[in-house]
Amino acid sequence: MKTKSFLIPAFLFFSIWSVAQVPAKITVEQQKAETTVAPNMYGIFFEDINFAADGGLYAELIKNRSFDFPNSPFMGWLTYGKVSVQTEGAPFSRNPHYARLLNDGLLTGTGLLNEGFRGIGVEKNKKYNLSLYAKNVNKDENKLKIEIISAANEIIASGEVEINSGNWEKYKLELQAKETCAHAKLRVDLISQGELDIEHVSLFPAETWRNRENGMRKDLAQALAELKPGVFRFPGGCIIEGNNLETRYQWKNSVGPVENRPVNENRWNYVFQHRFTPDYFQSYGLGFFEYFQLCEDFGADALPVVSCGMACQFITDECVPVDDLDPYIQDALDLVEFANGPVTSKWGKVRAEMGHPESFGLRYIGIGNEQWGEVFPKHLEAFQKALDEKYPEIQIIGSSGPSADGEQFDYLWGEMKKMDVDLVDEHYYKDPDWFLQNADRYDDYSRKGPKVFAGEYACHVQPEKKNSFYAALCEASFLTGIERNSDVVRLATYAPLFAHVDAWQWKPDMIWFDNLRSVKSANYYVQQLYSKYKGTTVQNVKMNGENVVGQDGIYASVVTDKDNDQLILKISNTGKSEKEVELDFKLKELPSVLKGKQITLKANLDDENTLDEPFLVKPVEKEVALDSKSPKISIEAESFHVFVLDL
């Protein structure tokens, strides 16, 4: 078959080329009715999934330190010699198990080895603080040898503890590692002949976040601080509900002396059979006091979530009748008292005894997580009535369920409006197309009634759900719509936050880590840029009279920052070619030249930061100067940019 050839006249070719190069024109003008950006707009959501708490942010290195994992008191431990579990005369009522070691002359000795959380991570020359409770059984004195053993079975730290009392006492030992090892073990060896009891064996890095006892892992807490979060939702989503009501998260179990906080099953330990983790429990060492303390450290508003009396509906239909909700409602009321109450109140006194007599200044509380159906609004209404009566200043957050649309979503939004809750928690884990097509999602939302809390969102690029640059680019594009509609969306948090590379159940996640290292994802940098440069006031941004929501692959939003006297443009190009953009600033009193910086996030779409390549995707900053009368900017293909211009 013959093919025909065509010659394009030179003048026509030039005309086609000229049309292709006509820059997109974006107009920026003052809003008639000013829309402010909430100072706490962008934040973080912590869910104890992927070993995010024990084995992650919480710096404790010993798994099952109190021998109280349900049905498996020695899970995480290997024992040798004569070791048994006892309960009579336990020092801590809510952690009733302890270990008894008997050395009656066995050449093999008697002791225990702890495996940590997929190993114990120690660094050369760093110091580690060991503590344990112990008492002698039948003699005045016994001696324990404590060793950190490397993956190659070499002793890399060692010390001895003399147990010299027949009563429960706390003993401490400082260990210094001679080598770096990500998968070490801790050995506790009774080297004298005799019998003793031990409980709450704990090992922490000497350096924790702000050098606190019972502290947080320094690099992970620092990464959160660098996000500059405005709000911190905790302690999770589905773990609030529990696999059943018995295993729901109960905040009162997470406060008070850390040794007496009872162990609880983690919601994520066996839900995903392909990521089966039967050793996943919650020590509650990272509890509500520590969460509030972190909020204070970060300058973030605390947003705790409590059970509404419904277990996870994906697992069970277990539900407390509305008439029996009083204990659950009282927990919510007591939580406000714990956070804000005077030291003379019951729970304010507990807070003060833990070292914080001042109020934490709680302003929000979430009731339930992703509940749906006709029962949830009735439960929420009972909580709302009690909270409004006693604490009318507390903002209540309801839910639109687990989906971003559909029959249940519409029904719950209708109920939330009837109840006039303060915010409605929306969740969306969607593919790239959804994020790109929903940049205008909130343009037509009602400006009356409840505001939106985008409580859990992340772009899922199938099939691997990587934290790829493409996922981050789609989120950056979507967030221009969040920012443009700051009068509707008041809070926004990516989810989940953390994941251990050797013990994850869900991905993607914002920050990945192993026992020694951590890495910030491309998604992290998008959230950081929005939080750091959120501004104070939204400006209108139009292309041909319409909001910029993907025309020719361009997404954009503009805010001014009155506090720093800056104009901030966020713009992404999801197209395959570079785009020339002409800006038309119809704003008052602009300098003739807008000087500042341009921050660019650009990489191959499939690129992903890893522990071995932590900076494959990262923001790059340069100085810029734009003519305010008719500035033109070039936006690279598949890239995200933040222009921070001084006014």
Instruction: Strands of 300-450 (E only): list them.
Output: 301-306, 364-367, 395-399, 423-430
Residues 6 or more apart whose Cβ sits within 8 Å of residue 565: 646, 647
The backbone torsions φ and ψ at residue 424, rounded to the nearest 5 degrees and listed phi first, read: -115, 125
Is there a catalytic annotation at residue 608? no
The β-bridge partners of 194 are 103
Residues 6 or more apart whose Cβ sits within 8 Å of residue 413: 400, 424
In whole angstroms, give the CA distance from residue 518 to residue 216.
14
In whole angstroms, give the CA distance from residue 68 to residue 259.
11
Catalytic residue among 47, 370, 608, 638: 370
Which residue, 448, 477, 427, 401, is CA-closest to 641?
477
Which residue, 69, 12, 481, is CA-closest to 277?
69
**DSSP readout, 453-507?**
EEEEEEE--TTTT--BHHHHHHHHHHHHHHHHTTTTEEEEEES--EEETTS-SS-
Pairing of the two strands 579-586 and 549-551: unpaired
Q: Which amino acid is residue 425, in one-letter code?
A: D
Q: 613: which DSSP letter? A: S
Q: Which amino acid is residue 451, in one-letter code?
A: K
Angle, helices 326-340 vs 346-353, to 10°: value is 50
Which residue, 635, 522, 542, 629, is CA-closest to 585?
629
With beta carbons less than 8 A apart as the criterion, state whether 416 and 381 touch.
no
With beta carbons less than 8 A apart as the criterion, state whether 277 and 52 touch.
no
Which residue, 457, 476, 440, is CA-closest to 571?
476
Residue count of the chain: 647
Which residue, 387, 343, 346, 361, is CA-closest to 293?
361
Q: 23: which DSSP letter? A: P
202 alpha-carbon distance from chain centroid: 25
Q: Which amino acid is residue 265, in one-letter code?
A: E
Instruction: Kindly report each contact of residues 192-195 with a partner whose C-beta sits within 8 Å and lies 24 or more positions away, as own/partner.
Output: 192/103, 192/141, 192/142, 192/143, 193/103, 193/104, 193/105, 194/102, 194/103, 194/136, 194/137, 194/138, 194/139, 194/141, 194/142, 195/100, 195/101, 195/102, 195/103, 195/136, 195/137, 195/138, 195/139, 195/142
Residues 6 or more apart whose Cβ sits within 8 Å of residue 87: 96, 97, 98
Positions annotated as catalytic residues are 370
